[in-house]
A and B are shown apart, each in its own frame.
Chain A
Amino acid sequence: MTSAGDGHESPHDRHSNGDPSPGSGRAGTELSETGLSETEPDPRFTLANERTFLAWSRTALALVAAGLGIVQLLPPFPGVPLGRHLVGIPLIILGAVIAVTAYVDMTRNQRALRRRLPLPRSLLPRMLAATIGGVAATAAVVVLVSATR
């Protein structure tokens, strides 16, 4: 998965086709600690993996900025003193969690590429969708409660 700005064919698509692309296997085959053979993947796959990680890191940073902005810059909700914190703080925490998960995903993907295995499924999109959905629902409740008071 790459960011919209990086929109290119995913490594998984080409990798699963067994496309003997230029640059593959440049570093030769080695045995990993687990005894599985590892080959340095096509550099384009490695670079795409790196860009995906950077895109997730920027997403994490945007979530942190959004959470901080909600807590510090929005006017308080009348009648709901903790309203801004209920909405903003989960976004900040999600940003930190996404940053760490993106690093773990990137290393798992790189290992799978080296071993010519299918890429593992990422939890990040579901995690992001669930938390943003939860925060949106919380924000709606806070706004409604604030409006009725």
Chain B
Amino acid sequence: MPPEDQEPIVIDPDNRTRLAWTRTALAFAAIGGAMLKLSLVAGLVVLLLSLPIWATARHRRGADPVAFSPPHLRMVTGTVVIVALAALAVALFGHSPDSLGQLLRGR
């Protein structure tokens, strides 16, 4: 439930934003689960990183929607960059039948 002092016209946008946070956390968890099959460590790291994003979605409940929180948003950006770097490492040096490392070493 939104706080009593929150203007009614802001409640719906606040709910939509909370749902957007939840979708983002689910997206991170989904890619983390998928990465588990390719690399256990990278997958676990991404799965763990989805937890603070999920916590942010939960924490927004009842929060003042005006409060703009750059640290939380920076955390999302940082997590995407970490996922991209992990994906790059898996793509270059992973256990694919012909990974780039194997190709460059002439198999």
Contact = CB atoms under 8 A, between A and B. Distances in A.
B103 interface: yes
Interface in A103-117: 103, 106-107, 110
A99 to B, nearest CB: 4
A61 B28 contact: yes
Q: Chain B interface mostly helix, strand, loop or mixed? A: helix
A92 to B, nearest CB: 5
Most buried by A among B74, B80, B88, B97: B80
B20 interface: yes
A93 B89 CA distance: 12
A132 interface: no
Q: Chain A interface mostly helix, strand, loop or mixed? A: helix
B99 to A, nearest CB: 8
A48 B13 contact: yes
Interface in A35-60: 40, 43-44, 46-48, 50-51, 53-55, 57-58, 60
Contacts of A106: 73
A10 B34 CA distance: 34
22 contacts: A21-B9, A23-B10, A26-B66, A46-B68, A47-B14, A47-B16, A50-B17, A50-B68, A51-B16, A54-B20, A58-B23, A60-B80, A60-B84, A62-B27, A65-B34, A65-B87, A67-B91, A68-B38, A72-B91, A81-B98, A95-B84, A102-B77
Interface of A: 3, 5-6, 8, 21-23, 26-27, 40, 43-44, 46-48, 50-51, 53-55, 57-58, 60-62, 64-65, 67-69, 71-72, 76, 81-82, 85, 88-89, 92-93, 95-96, 99-100, 102-103, 106-107, 110
